[in-house]
Amino acid sequence: MTNDTIHASIYDWQDNHDKGNVTFYRFGTGPSPCAPVPELPTVVLFSVGLGALAGYVGWRKRKE
């Protein structure tokens, strides 16, 4: 998405009264400075869960 695309989809209230107001914030071009970083326990539990799921799928395929 580019600025031209965004500007083309925003109407000026003075030109078109039935559309309502729009607040436009520039879109990000890099990482958000306030994005949450996963904590270590979250990463560990996710990895263990993924490993367990992969093991279960492999076990089920060998069983068939």
pLDDT of residue 36: 84
Question: Structurally, how many domains does the chain consist of?
Answer: 1
Considering the entire predicted model, what is its pTM? 0.43
Tell me which residue range forms the domain holding 52: 3-29+38-63
CB atoms within 10 A of CB 3: 10
pLDDT digits (tens, 9 = 90+) for 11-38: 665 666 666 666 667 777 777 778 788 8
Band of pLDDT at residue 58, cut at 50, 70 and 90: very high
Half-sphere exposure of 41 (CA within 13 A, CB side): 0
pLDDT of residue 24: 67
Q: How far apart are CA 14 and CA 10, in angstroms?
A: 12
**Which residue has better confidence, 1 or 36?**
36
How many degrees, rounded to 5, is the angle at CA 6 between CA 5 and CA 9?
90
